[in-house]
Amino acid sequence: MFAPEIYGYQYQSYDREKVRSWAIALGECFHRDDVLDFTRRLIQELCDSRQPQMHERDFWQLARWCQTGGAYERGMDYAQKISTAVFGRIIQRRDKAA
Q: Is the overall model pTM greater than 0.85, yes or no? A: yes
Residue 82 domain flag: yes
Helix H or strand E encompassing 24:
helix 16-28
Residue 94 domain flag: no
**Total tally of structural domains belonging to the chain:** 1
Q: How far apart are CA 52 and CA 38, in angstroms?
A: 15
Residue 95 domain flag: no
Blockwise average pLDDT, block size 10, the chain, 98 residues: 92 98 95 94 96 95 93 92 98 69
Residue 97 domain flag: no
Residue 10 domain flag: no
Predicted pLDDT of residue 43: 98
State the residue range of the domain holding 69.
23-87
Alpha-carbon Rg for the chain in angstroms: 12
Residue 43 domain flag: yes
